[in-house]
A = this chain, B = another copy of it.
Amino acid sequence: MRPAKLVPLPLRAVEVDDSYWSPRAAINRSKTLQTVYRKLEETGALQNFASASGKATGGFRGPFWSDSDVYKWLEGVSYTLALQRDPQLEAQADDVIASIASAQRADGYLDTYFQLMRPDDRWSNLAFGHEDFNAGHLLESAVAHFEATGKRTLLDIAIKNADCFERTFGPGKRDGQPGHEGLELALVKLSRATGDKRYLKLAEFYLNSRGQQPSFFRGEYDKLDPSKTMNFLGTTMNVRGLQDRLFRADPSKFNTEYSQDHLPVRQQDKVVGHAVRAMYLYSGMADVARETADGGLYAALLKLYDDMTLKRMYVTGGIGPSAHNEGFTFDYDLPNETAYQETCASIGVAMWTERMLGLTGDARYADLMELSLYNATTAGVSLAGDTFFYDNPLYSRGKAARTAWFPVPCCPTNIVRLVPSISKYAYSQSDDALWVNLYVQGKATARFGQESLAVTQRSTYPWSGEIRLQVTAAPASERGLFLRIPGWAGHADFKLNGKAVQPLVEKGYAQLRRRWSAGDVIELSLPMDVQRLQANPAVAEDRGRVALRRGPVIYCLEQADNGIDLDEIYLPASAPVEVRHNPNLLGGVSVLTAQALKKPQSSWTGTLYRPSGKPERPVPIVAVPYSTWGNRAPGKMAVWIEGSAY
């Protein structure tokens, strides 16, 4: 394979001033970050570091991967500081970093749970101990903090911690692999940030360790002393307890699909198990494939991607239908009401697709990245920024509501780092081109050696498909400006300085190449027709139903806007669907309206089959973006509504 060399623009090379993302980033800064900080205080996650360093007493509190939530908060702070300087916030982060530094052991080891509760059990239970998972988030936040602030405080902790892993694990050293993946991608990130290839080698070693027969986790399990107990979220269980629950549901087997350990990674072709683990693994595989040009990893990723997107993904770009394993089940099992669709998994989709885009330069990955970001991901947080969905149903009878916190608060802390990092998804650059992946209003500058190509972007995307880019600084030589034509659009009209042009389109990107001049204007027009989506009939729950999409936005119906029970609504194919922008609704959204039909009253009580009857009357319906549901009075919500397709 010849990996494309597409990289995100540096954090500070992008400014965001966007009608969709900027209000969310502002709320994230002013509300969510502080809400989450207080919760990390209240629940002991911050104090665990003070306790581990001996500066406080009280033992460990929270789930044993609670350190990761502090690191994710720091990563969110870092992206926020990159968007806008804030000395007070920066000082708050410095205090947390100082506390982390004090907790770190001299050898670099850092995991407050094991340090405080089970100092002798270090690395004894990689399957569920989460030491590696915590380390991954430490490394990610450290790179972000360094990039955003230039400070090495957190980066030095991360390097020391990574060195500790690197001294311990690897060929000729100790065997091992992360139970919850994430360290792999973080090691590649650290390797890129520091130029130190040892971290990349360790990531590769971890990938190559996966899927042995018998599993590494099996050997580890056999060594665990079942007379020893541990506390997990308030329950005392023996130290093999999580394996017994998640690997050994059938006691005759030791099934490690849960953590994608069932096959060597290059042989994997089905997305299985815990969805967040899967996304973090595939992200790490893409990172290593890119750095090492590993064709086997690349080929596996293509198969995994097809498997997920053709059989195991919601229309919103989210994944993982089942609460049981927080993950994948079987092909086309995509229930709406019980959709787990964990917010972290949707963020994981964005992380993986961003890497696949980098690896291939193929817009189809950006399509899914966009889908997840504008729908499944942003649904995870309220518009007010203070409550969260962990699981995201596609149908609700009115009971589902965002809450302020969770015993396992991974989703809030993942939202905190996702929202302010949109710039990393919006633009990329290759050797000689600036790639516009998402139509986010603001500014971007790509540097080619000593030269820069800078553009401003103006749009009210995703509500309008009219986008205007203006070159504000041009390099002397010919460079490309590559604009993504979204898959949902199919085509786009382009104008260059007012004249229609038809640029070459490759893998979904329109390739405009020229010697640019400051002041050059590119106008892009995307068709924003409302589409009635159907699901493959193999998805049982969506048969006879349609979902509405406009641009990248998936819509839903909420009780608040619709006079009748959503289950009484039938949308005929003949009913036109209109668009109306409402700046005062849900932070400013375009709503969809139509004249649907009220289904006949006859109920299913007392019958299994019945003649279809005549609809009673037309009813006006209003659909709002799925990402904004659940921000008003509780009520029913449905993404897929009954309707005719033709």
Contact B646 A615 (CB under 8 A): yes
Contact partner of A646 among B533, B537, B572, CB < 8 A?
Answer: B572
Contact A543 B545 (CB under 8 A): yes
Distance to closest chain B CB from A613 (angstroms) = 8
Task: Give the CA-CA distance A574 to B503 in the complex, in Å.
Answer: 45
Contact B532 A612 (CB under 8 A): yes
A302 within 8 A of B: no
A497-548 at interface with B (beta carbon < 8 Å): 531-541, 543-547
Contact A611 B532 (CB under 8 A): yes
Considering residues A310, A545, A610, A611, which has the most beta carbons from chain B within 10 angstroms of its beta carbon?
Answer: A611
Contact A310 B607 (CB under 8 A): yes
A91 within 8 A of B: no
**Which residues of B have CB within 8 Å of A546?**
612
Using A540-B543, A644-B572 as known contacts, say yes or no to A309 and B534 having CB atoms under 8 A apart: no
A315 within 8 A of B: yes
Distance to closest chain B CB from A194 (angstroms) = 40
Contact A614 B310 (CB under 8 A): no
Contact A645 B310 (CB under 8 A): no
Distance to closest chain B CB from A369 (angstroms) = 16
Interface residues on chain A, number (Cβ under 8 Å): 42
Contact A310 B532 (CB under 8 A): no
Distance to closest chain B CB from A235 (angstroms) = 24
Contact B608 A536 (CB under 8 A): yes
A160 within 8 A of B: no
A570 within 8 A of B: yes
**Which residues of B have CB within 8 Å of A541?**
540, 543
Task: Give the CA-CA distance A645 to B570 in the complex, in Å.
Answer: 9
Chain B residue with Cβ nearest A490: B611
Task: Give the CA-CA distance A265 to B535 in the complex, in Å.
Answer: 44
Contact B608 A313 (CB under 8 A): yes
Contact B612 A535 (CB under 8 A): no
A495 within 8 A of B: no
Task: Give the CA-CA distance A613 to B529 in the complex, in Å.
Answer: 12
Chain B residue with Cβ nearest A614: B646
Contact B609 A573 (CB under 8 A): no
Contact A534 B608 (CB under 8 A): no
Chain B residue with Cβ nearest A538: B604
Task: Give the CA-CA distance A608 to B318 in the complex, in Å.
Answer: 13
Contact B644 A573 (CB under 8 A): yes
A198 within 8 A of B: no
Return the 9 tightest CB-CB contacts between A and B, nearest first.
A544-B544, A644-B644, A540-B540, A543-B543, A612-B645, A531-B611, A615-B646, A543-B544, A532-B612
